[in-house]
Structure 1
């Protein structure tokens, strides 16, 4: 894949844990599946709408794909799309930016820097 940046949506408690522990092992779903679910910029809005509907305090972490090395794998998921999956913990060193999840006027999730 050519995506340079991948994204992880964090709930408020997950974000607080990342800041406190200086590492993120994954959400309950991530831990159950054995990898940290991530999205591309094009996939973020649908991921938020499907899995985080009605939740407030969400944070969007922009992650440098290259810093994840071979632990990042592209695997088919929703409707056969390839999604980035991290097999390992997420270090804050890989995170380029963390912003609150906000929406553009058209309803899509705003990706900072776009």
Structure 2
């Protein structure tokens, strides 16, 4: 039987639309999206959750920025919850997402790297993910 420790991801990811590109270089604290501000936490995804996050929340985007964030340093500040933070559960539980509760602070100190993913006309996000499989760490 898998334990919650064995389900711990190496990385978690923040998806950012092309309309709000992260500054380069990344500042110590990034601007906060309206969704994160109104939720009171930073919405994140595991590598396995990225395909559906893109399909449901980034449908109209042709480019996104993907922030790769090492999980271990943030472990104590992460809650595993449903998208609306109404149901909590164990790490990696089905349908539960990592939510960062740290006064909405995410920046250069937490982000290991930034990927720029773009899809061409006729491409799906799954096509793009297939091309970035070496960068996306499960």
**1:8 and 2:14 equivalent?**
yes
Specify which of 93, 100, 107 is matched with residue 126 of structure 2.
Answer: 107
Q: Residue in 2 aligned with 1:95?
A: 111
Question: In the aligned structure 2, how far is the partner of 1:83 from the partner of 1:61?
Answer: 16
RMSD, aligned α-carbons? 2.8
Structure 1 alignment gaps of length 5 or more = none
Give the helix-richer structure, 1 or 2.
1
Deviations 1:82-107 (A, max 9, x none): 11001121121211111112579892
Does the 8 Å contact 1:59/1:101 carry over to 2? yes
Q: Hey, what's the Cα distance between the residues in 2 that align with 1:34 and 1:113?
A: 27
Residue in 2 that maps onto 1:86: 100
Q: Is the 8 A contact 1:26 1:35 kept in 2?
A: no
Aligned residue pairs: how many?
113
Question: Could you tell me how far 1:69 is from its partner in structure 2?
Answer: 3.9
Name the CA shift for 1:12/1:106 in 2 (closer, same or farther; >3 Å).
Answer: closer
Gaps of at least 5 residues in structure 2 are 1-6, 85-93
Name the larger-Rg structure. Answer: 2
Using the TM superposition, name which of 97-106 and 5-14 deviates more. 97-106
For the 8 Å contact 2:69–2:113, the answer to whether it is kept is: yes
Moved more, 41-50 or 56-65: 56-65
- Corresponding residue of 2:28: 22
Q: CA deviation at 1:12?
A: 2.9
